[in-house]
Amino acid sequence: MSRTAFLLSLASVSLLAACAPTITDTAGRLVNTVSGQEGRVVFLGGFQTRAAVPGTPDNVTVQLGQDFYSGQYSVIGNDGPVNLRFGLSGGFSSGDGFFRHGYDAGLRAPAIRNVARPGNLIVKTLKLDTAAVKTLICTFQADSSGHGVGDCRGSNGATYALQF
């Protein structure tokens, strides 16, 4: 490839990348199990499977009806170590006066796993002049691709289903 063609292809890729939208937040939904009221959960900066560290800023928001909640979520555990396997196989055969042999050796990657890991989400509303603070606590299972399901309970006793 000539240098001019390479520079033109690099410029076109850069132009396309500049036009692409930047997705930084991951959204999910919350549904009241009795009334069917739906809410929206937004993981700020995208869903990340990691444990929360004390003192870090809020990383999740919830909009449920007129209420706006803010807080943190955390995922514990890890995907486990990557185990590479080494395999060696060989064989001999003879037939029709020919002698054949073959060997196969190499590293084999393990099957792709999508392990679910436990997490929780704790959010609360801001205290307004006359309104009491409301809280929402959820437990969920999330996989390595950032999808998850769970259950939530509000400080008013309401129960919700969570999916993202």
Tell me: the pLDDT tens digits for 61-108? 999 999 999 999 999 987 655 555 555 555 555 555 555 555 555 555
Amino acid at 90: G
Q: Is the pLDDT of residue 19 over 60?
A: no
Q: In this structure, how many other beta carbons lie within 10 angstroms of the beta carbon of residue 105?
A: 9
SS3 (DSSP) at 108? strand
- 22-31, 73-82, 138-147: which range is least confident on average? 73-82
Give the rounded percent of residues in the chain with a pLDDT score beyond 90: 45
| Tokens matching residue 78 | 């890890």
The whole-number pLDDT of residue 98 equals: 56
CA 74 – CA 121 distance, rounded (Å): 7
pTM: 0.65
What are the E-state strand segments in the chain?
A: 26-32, 38-43, 60-64, 67-75, 85-95, 98-108, 117-125, 135-142, 148-154, 159-163
Contact 150, 62 (CB under 8 A): no
